[in-house]
Amino acid sequence: MSVIPHPTRRGFLTRTAAVGGALAVPGLLAGCTRTDAGGAAAGLDRLREQGHIRVAYANEAPYGYEEDGQLKGEAPTLHREIFRALGVAELRPTFSEWDGLIPGLQAGKYDVISAGMAITPERCAKALFSDPEFISPTALLVQRGNPKQLTDLASAKESGAAIGVMSGAVEKTYATGAGIPDGSLKTLQKPQDGADAVKAGRIDAFLLTGISLNWLARNNSGLEVTESFVPEVDGVKQYSPGGAVFRQGAEEVRDAFNRELRKIVSDRGRYVELLGAYGFGEDTIPPADLKTADLCRA
């Protein structure tokens, strides 16, 4: 991953009970109609004709999650805005565990991943990423009072802390790159699993983006989040840019998506208006020189 100019540290998330424009979907978790596995990616004209696009989410707040029968979060809110501008009126969502998102995309179960997925070379080899939608430094979720006084991965290594990482997420690479041994890492399926493990003392800290962890801390008593930091892998700073993910062969749709995305990220007021309720703001807007092609380069 290329070195990216350091963004301003962001403030804590603000939780809202309801977000304007959330997508109401009856029977959301039941899944949606699928095309044949491995079938050709739908082009923009076909999507416009059918009036919907199938999206996958991992139920991770605040990126993409279901609440009260509605699909909410940064990615669905942004993607709905973009696809409506492209003439595709509806997002049809399907839930997937995090580490099943890309395999499901490859199998043709949906057309785009709306989950705030970090752009990495390994993932780029399997799918097409949009331009970055946001940037987010990393942090640690710890018990209130931070018993081990953890500040970053170096302090976690020095203290021998047990660190939780989410299955399939990029943070395991960060921990390994910092020299934390596999024996000190515990893999968890969902963000709430990490919060529960910290509260129960099964791990000393849960490693994830600051955006996700601040959301968790506001909804789990007895926990706090360290100051955000920028991990390094092989001496290269990692800023966790995230984007939409499309199937290989869907360049036409991805490129059209990017054109509308650039209009939003270049208009700071519009970006904050759309995503501010989920904790995204001016300091999470990707810099103009942050390119997916560079992020995908091994």
Give me the architecture of the 23-135+242-296 domain, per CATH. 3-Layer(aba) Sandwich (3.40)
Q: Indicate if the pLDDT at residue 3 is higher than 80.
A: no
> 23-135+242-296 and 138-237: same fold?
yes
* 138-196 pLDDT, tens digit each: 999 999 999 999 999 999 999 999 999 999 888 999 999 999 999 999 999 999 999 99
The helix (H) or strand (E) run that includes residue 122 is helix 121-124
Q: Which of 218, 209, 255 is nearest to 7 (CA)?
A: 209
Q: Which of 106, 65, 84, 64 is nearest to 256 (CA)?
A: 84
Under 8 Å between Cβ of 223 and 142:
yes
Domain at 138-237, CATH homologous superfamily: Periplasmic binding protein-like II (3.40.190.10)
Report the half-sphere exposure of 259 (CA within 13 A, side-chain side).
8
Among the residue ranges 26-30, 50-54, 89-93, the one predicted with the least confidence is: 26-30
Among the residue ranges 15-19, 45-49, 228-232, 289-293, the one predicted with the least confidence is: 15-19
This model's pTM is above 0.85: no
Assess whether the previous peptide bond of 147 is cis (omega < 30° from 0).
no
> Where in the chain are the domains?
23-135+242-296, 138-237
| Amino acid, single-letter form, for residue 143 | Q
The dihedrals phi and psi of 26, each to the nearest 5 degrees, come to -60, 135
Across the range 120-128, mean pLDDT stands at: 96
CA 238 – CA 253 distance, rounded (Å): 28
Strands 23-24 and 205-209: what pairing?
A: unpaired
